[in-house]
Structure 1
């Protein structure tokens, strides 16, 4: 029967290899998938080396002692680049490879050092090593790298949240937990590196983190399997966060609006045509009733660039895409309330019929537009409707 440490050791190496194999076998791999698979491959090698050192001092393979040191410089860049490509915030070019230069430099520095050190010196059996100052500086570099890349990854997540808010008409059920788990898990690892300088503790927390990735990654649609057909969503570089003008424009502001259109290559006449087509589409097809509607969906239907459509909505309505669609949903909800045959349904059922996908989103947007909660509005209008405890929240 294997001892406890061997079970942990084998598990810490087997899990990333297993996830790596799953990703390699995934059809239609994206660049983000390839980055994640490479990350898992190097994580498996790192666990193999670090686990051997932590649990049996690598006495049987002394030549490999110390080669685990460059690997921590890979994990931060892999985390950052994976999030960068997964959220579509990358730019073209070869510069992304520069993130791996520190790991390469450390490996080149250590190559002559590790080959010249006897195993007893590597294991600290002969007292302090002559290369101890070098290793201290490398450890400091590892800590700095980890902290910097966690901060950079958090910034990517913040920017991605802004992009989601620009393009989606319902945001309550769009979860970013997968990215939060990755960043949070890496943060925990660096805390262990800084405050618990123990090889076995670090190995264990990395093994748990990889298990964590596997468990939630398999549950998350699209990470280790192909996602179902989705609504049209564009990269942040395609849909920039527009400036929202005042809700009501005075006549003297028309000239400024013309200048704004000219700078973007969109004339006021073209903007008016797109706006008219958008209103016709909403009146005839009631697209706002699609709970998953995105800016990309409408842009594709109207055959216009998503950034142009966003600009038209902002300029003509004085609202973001999100507020524009939810205002239409609230208006449709109020119309349904006026129909006696609809009053046998609950408020939430009518809200879902109009395109809302959660009671929180419904109540928030309704109150934002009418200054009243849905139940207060119903009472004020003396409308008798089916009771629903979930209509508030």
Structure 2
């Protein structure tokens, strides 16, 4: 009778295969989708090899023993590259294929070694001259796994900063999918280091697959085609004004040094700011809860880094704060209209572009120094606060 952990592991293999089939049949795959598909392809093969060990199938095909070693070198790079492309942090000149060099080198090293070893040597039942090689390879696998988990965490941190720079509402932008991927991989390496038993590894890998399958299917766009997104740019394109990249070479006078890095003159900045103010007054773009810096830059037909710089210098605010100040001011004006008394406080907030109660309360208090309810009392306005 099969042990419980073997039954669980078998389920994990089938779940991996199922997710791979979903990914490969997904239409309009992005580069990140293709990386995730390739990752699941190799993950299925790796799981099958480990399962083959779990069910003591080595005697049937002893030639396969040892060939599971290159696969752990793949998971870290796949995790890193998937997050890199999913968050738009890749660079054109990057040599991504080099991340898979350790896996390739380990396979090249094993190619002449494994055929020269007996089955007993491969299983560790008898001494082998290649034992130090395998010990160093296992250490290399652990180092590789930990390094790529750390690098992935760095990418996630940078992505959080990018979201704050470009989006006017961040409450409903979830980074949980990336956190689950990184956390799951980290948990696997912790088990490998501190609980180096086959059953523990099989169970944690299977739980990770179940976990990723469940949350990946729940998150729109991972295993299905995502809805049309707002205009978003790479983190390298949009930066705070202090580190904005040079966009063109223009000679500027000393009094205009604050625009020196982007080549933007004070006259041009004033023109853009005037156009932005007019646009907000006439079209009230801030009422779009999903508005991004890219959307606004596209409407004004300017580079997003330039628009970010103008908002920083002329308004003294980030894009996020600038839009939410406009929303709060619109909300305050809406409160003065008698017809608004028919609606709840939250419905009025949504009308002004906020997308959650938490976001509305936080930004309102940050800007006015009062909570919405305190402001209503101070202004002697009677509005329903809850639905």
TM-score, normalization by structure 2: 0.93
Matches within 5 A, 1:33-52: 33-52=33-52
Distance 1:58 1:371 in 2: 69
Moved more, 255-264 or 325-334: 255-264
How many matched pairs?
Answer: 380
In the TM superposition, residue 5 of structure 1 has moved relative to its aligned partner by 6.2
Moved more, 278-287 or 20-29: 20-29
Distance 1:4 1:59 in 2: 23
In the TM superposition, residue 264 of structure 1 has moved relative to its aligned partner by 0.9
SS at match of 1:343: helix
Judged with a 3 Å threshold, the aligned counterparts in structure 2 of structure 1 residues 25 and 222 are, in CA distance, closer, same or farther, namely: same
* 8 Å CA contact 1:50, 1:199 repeated in 2: no
In the TM superposition, residue 256 of structure 1 has moved relative to its aligned partner by 5.9
Judged with a 3 Å threshold, the aligned counterparts in structure 2 of structure 1 residues 387 and 94 are, in CA distance, closer, same or farther, namely: closer
Aligned residue number for residue 248 of structure 1: none
* 8 Å CA contact 1:5, 1:55 repeated in 2: no
1:246-272 Cα shifts (integer Å, max 9, x gaps):
xxxxxxxx9766223243122211111
Distance 1:364 1:225 in 2: 33
Distance 1:45 1:242 in 2: 48
In the TM superposition, residue 63 of structure 1 has moved relative to its aligned partner by 0.7
Matches within 5 A, 1:1-393: 7-56=7-56, 58-93=58-93, 95-126=95-126, 128-243=127-242, 258-388=256-386
Structure 1 spans left out of the alignment, 5+ residues: 245-253
SS at match of 1:263: coil
Distance 2:343 2:179 in 1: 38
Q: CA RMSD in A?
A: 2.1
* 8 Å CA contact 1:13, 1:45 repeated in 2: no
Judged with a 3 Å threshold, the aligned counterparts in structure 2 of structure 1 residues 204 and 330 are, in CA distance, closer, same or farther, namely: same
Moved more, 339-348 or 355-364: 339-348
Distance 1:343 1:5 in 2: 61
Judged with a 3 Å threshold, the aligned counterparts in structure 2 of structure 1 residues 196 and 5 are, in CA distance, closer, same or farther, namely: closer
1:257-306 Cα shifts (integer Å, max 9, x gaps):
62232431222111111111111111111111111111111111111111
In the TM superposition, residue 98 of structure 1 has moved relative to its aligned partner by 1.0
Distance 1:7 1:124 in 2: 26
Distance 1:326 1:260 in 2: 25
Distance 2:155 2:109 in 1: 32
In the TM superposition, residue 211 of structure 1 has moved relative to its aligned partner by 2.3
Distance 1:16 1:140 in 2: 26
TM-score, normalization by structure 1: 0.92
Moved more, 143-152 or 116-125: 116-125
Judged with a 3 Å threshold, the aligned counterparts in structure 2 of structure 1 residues 342 and 9 are, in CA distance, closer, same or farther, namely: closer
In the TM superposition, residue 94 of structure 1 has moved relative to its aligned partner by 5.2
Distance 2:64 2:150 in 1: 32
Distance 2:198 2:255 in 1: 63
SS at match of 2:89: coil
In the TM superposition, residue 40 of structure 1 has moved relative to its aligned partner by 0.4
Distance 2:385 2:367 in 1: 22
* 8 Å CA contact 2:89, 2:236 repeated in 1: yes
